[in-house]
Amino acid sequence: MLNGKTAIVTGSTSGIGLGIAEAFARAGANIVLNGFGDATEIERTRTDLSKRTNAMVVYSPADMSRPKAIEQMVRQTVDTFGTVDIMVNNAGIQHVAPIDEFPEEKWDAIMAINLSSAFHATKLVLPMMRRKGWGRVINVASAHALVASPYKAAYVAAKHGVLGLTKVTALETAEDGITCNAICPGYVRTPLVERQIDDQAKAHGIDREKVISDVLLKNQPNKRFVEVAELAALALFLCTDNGASVTGAALPMDGGWTAH
């Protein structure tokens, strides 16, 4: 399905990004993983993904808060595979605090990684996609690109910005064989969320199931986590010929959260 295509997936050493990378690899794409973590574990992840999918998989340690590092990641991809066909902007961080107590350095970091990195990466890959007459830009946003929650000022602002960037990119590339869409998940079952469950249980003095139903999934009417495999399947669909007319869209996968 994606034979001969090359995909960069940022924030892909675990969680959503790794799930998307695996789906693309199984469909025949070359993969560039990116993210922070233990070097030995990342190399294990890279080699395991390659062995299980027979895909060519490389790793970029680019810090997504630094435009020059993003440029180096794209250059590494072109040097290795010749081009970039699919750009998945998934890298993100979070911090929770009231606005009047929100650390300025946290605001700046969240804006840089969650929003500005998507701009810098998209800017770099669009010329290649235009030359080939085909490309896919997928921004992993959030239900918080559509609605807000207290204490998440930077995250919500950045994700709303990602959706705006998605729409502009789609309009500017509509006649070029390129699509750009934002996937907007609710709470997803990832290792990061699993740790949040344990932390919240200790903080509130309640059991895990109560945390899941009354805290994390309070706003998701179906009361279940989004699975990484579901998001990966949607991302893969957007890269097929059948997804060619889907562009500029915010695609919620949130169990009904944003239907309120």
Kindly report, residue by residue over 123-164, the tens digit of the pLDDT. 999 999 999 999 999 999 999 999 999 999 999 999 999 999
SS3 of 45-85: HHHHHHHHHCCCEEEECCCCCCHHHHHHHHHHHHHHHCCCC
- Distance, in Å, from the CA atom of 65 to the CA atom of 14, rounded to the nearest integer, reads 18
Residue with tokens 């490309």: 135
- 115: part of which helix (H) or strand (E)? none
Provide the percentage of residues in the chain whose pLDDT is more than 70.
100
pLDDT computed for residue 190 by the predictor? 87
Do 50 and 22 contact (CB within 8 A), yes or no?
no
- The Cα–Cα gap between 70 and 203 comes to 37
Provide the token pair at 146: 């559509």
**CB-neighbour burial class of residue 37 (10 A; exposed 0-12, middle 13-18, buried 19+):** exposed
Those residues whose C-beta lies under 8 Å from the C-beta of residue 112, and which sit 6 or more positions away, are: 64, 65
Structural domains of the chain ordered from first start: 6-187+226-259 (3.40.50.720), 189-225 (no CATH)
How far CA 92 is from CA of 12, 29, 141, in Å, comes to 10, 23, 9
- Does the active-site annotation cover 155? yes
Per-residue pLDDT of the chain (260 residues; tens, 9 = 90+): 999 999 999 999 999 999 999 999 999 999 999 999 999 999 999 999 999 999 999 999 999 999 999 999 999 999 999 999 999 999 999 998 999 999 999 999 999 999 999 999 999 999 999 999 999 999 999 999 999 999 999 999 999 999 999 999 999 999 999 999 999 999 998 887 888 788 778 877 899 999 899 888 999 999 999 999 999 999 999 999 999 999 999 999 999 999 99
The number of beta carbons lying within 10 Å of the beta carbon of residue 209 is: 10
Residue with tokens 């070359």: 30
Region of residue 151 (phi > 0: left; psi between -120 and 50: alpha; otherwise: beta): left
Q: Is 184 helix (H, G, I), strand (E, B) or coil?
A: strand
* Cα–Cα distance for residue pair 41/179, rounded to 1 Å: 33
Determine which one of 59, 151, 155, 187 is catalytic.
Answer: 155
Say what angle helices 117-132 and 153-172 make with each other, to 10 degrees: 20
